[in-house]
Amino acid sequence: MSGILEGRIAIVTGAGRGIGREHALELARQGAKVIVNDLGATADGQGASDGPAHEVVALIREMGGEAEANGADVADFEQAEAMVRQAIDSFGGLDILVNNAGFLRDRMLVNTAEEEWDAVIRVHLKGHFAPLRHAGAYWRAEAKAGAQRAARVINTSSGAGLQGSIGQTTYSAAKAGIAGMTLVAAAEMGRYGVTVNAIAPVARTRMTEAAFADMMAPVDDGFDAMDPANNSPVVAWLASEEAGDVTGRVIEIEGGRICVEQGWTHGPSRDLGRRWESAEVGTALRELIAQGAVPEPVYGAG
């Protein structure tokens, strides 16, 4: 197989179903050798099965590509390290890390249990950190040894993390954390030839089927704007050597639309040159808020 990723070696986490599955297939179509990671859990993170990862591996091999399955819990530090080592040992290195694994435990804030918070933060936020930490250490060592790779990381944030989403306090916090991690990792790892970007995908998957129940069918022209595969060409390009000048970006993908997100920036300010008196703050802060941009509404807000 040949394409814009020919000869490159990739890991895709959460690649047994949904968006991750389409990423793994597209990277393989473009010539990458792929470690297909999936724990095989349910949509809310329960249980495990090696079936989904092996099914995707079989599809890649049927296309003439190279792939291996991996069943690591990506939020387990040692298992994440072993996953990175599998790519190096099996295919001779690692060029691409696509962090995608996750699940939902949606609740309104006051109904969220501590266990639900811990589980979602763990799989999304630590599940991005652990593979990135070990892949980053490998790429740093390669660079110091004079064998710098054109490495690429694509993380998975969400509109819920960028604009917020009613009923998804925990998920939104995790996805916002991933966006912040992306910015810092891009700044730290550029010296080793690594770019780090994130996507905010929109798709109909088993995690979102209830929310998108009214958008199940393709539109009249046959284009299904909610197809998970719509996100994967952007990931494939970001994973290519050509994309070496793009880093520290969060890109929203919705059907055929791509949007470069603009996060926190410094807005209107006022400096008194001394400590503020408590009674002074209200008037000044209201004036500054009036001068600034109006925030986008939280998803699901009235």
Beta carbons of 102 and 77 less than 8 angstroms apart? no
Q: Strand 250-254 vs strand 257-260: parallel, antiparallel, or unpaired?
A: antiparallel
Tens-digit pLDDT profile for residues 120-165 = 999 999 999 999 999 999 999 999 999 999 999 999 999 999 999 9
Alpha-carbon distance 254 to 6, whole Å? 27
**What pLDDT, on a 0 to 100 scale, did the predictor assign at position 40?**
74
Sequence ranges of the domains in the chain? 9-260
* DSSP summary character for residue 274: S
Beta carbons of 23 and 233 less than 8 angstroms apart? no
Beta carbons of 155 and 197 less than 8 angstroms apart? yes
Q: Which residues fall within 8 angstroms of residue 248, CB to CB, at 6 or more apart?
A: 182, 183, 186, 187, 196, 197
Q: Which residues are catalytic?
A: 158, 171, 175
Alpha-carbon distance 122 to 157, whole Å? 14
Q: Strand 67-70 vs strand 33-37: parallel, antiparallel, or unpaired?
A: parallel
Amino acid at 267: G
Alpha-carbon distance 70 to 90, whole Å? 12
Tens-digit pLDDT profile for residues 184-234 = 999 999 999 999 999 999 988 655 555 444 444 555 578 899 999 999 999
Tens-digit pLDDT profile for residues 77-135 = 999 999 999 999 999 999 999 999 998 899 999 999 999 999 999 999 999 999 999 99
Burial 106-126 (b: 16+ CB within 10 A, else e): bbeeeebeeebbebbbbbbbb
Q: What is the dihedral of CA 116, 82, 151, 250, to 10 degrees?
A: 0
Token pair of 127 as six digits: 């599940």
Q: Selecting from 3.40.190.10, 3.90.1150.10, 3.40.50.720, 3.40.50.2300, what CATH number does the domain 9-260 have?
A: 3.40.50.720
Alpha-carbon distance 67 to 139, whole Å? 21
pTM of the model as a whole: 0.91
